[in-house]
Amino acid sequence: MLKSIETGAGAAGSLRGAPPRRRWMLAAGGLCLAVLMISAAPGLAAGKNHNTAKYWKGKNISEATKKLGEPTQMTPLSETGGTLYIFAHPGEQHWVFETDAGGKIVKAAKVE
């Protein structure tokens, strides 16, 4: 009768000859990798979507004018030194941005 010289030859899919600790560490590492990939996915998708207010915050108003065209209304805000910009072109989404004195967008809202 022939006998296999490999340990664990009968266990399908197992690491042959690997100590139990190594198998556990590989499983834990794979689980951690899967959790990291899943948790990062929504953030990456939302960050590139210019249809969210979160995308526009922190950007310069010149980037918004490149994407949305010229603002239909600009109102200086004396209390903050910034400006309120309204983009309301017919047939397109309407946006309202508030900037600081340097032109950085601090508040953004999409008007439905």
- How many other CB atoms are found less than 10 A from the CB of residue 56? 22
> Could you tell me the residue range of the domain that residue 39 belongs to?
16-48
Residues 44 and 61 in one domain: no
Q: Are residues 40 and 58 in the same domain?
A: no
Same-domain check for residues 59 and 106 = yes
98: left (phi over 0), alpha (psi -120 to 50) or beta: beta
Q: Is the per-residue pLDDT at 64 higher than 80? A: yes
Q: Which two tokens stand for residue 43?
A: 């953030």
Please tell me whether residues 77 and 100 are part of one structural domain: yes
What pTM does this model have? 0.58
**pLDDT above 50: residue 26:** yes
Indicate the average pLDDT of the chain.
79
**Partners of 24 in beta bridges:** none
In total, how many domains does the chain have? 2
Residue-wise pLDDT for 46-60, tens only, equals 457 778 999 999 999
Is 30 in a helix, a strand, or coil?
Answer: helix
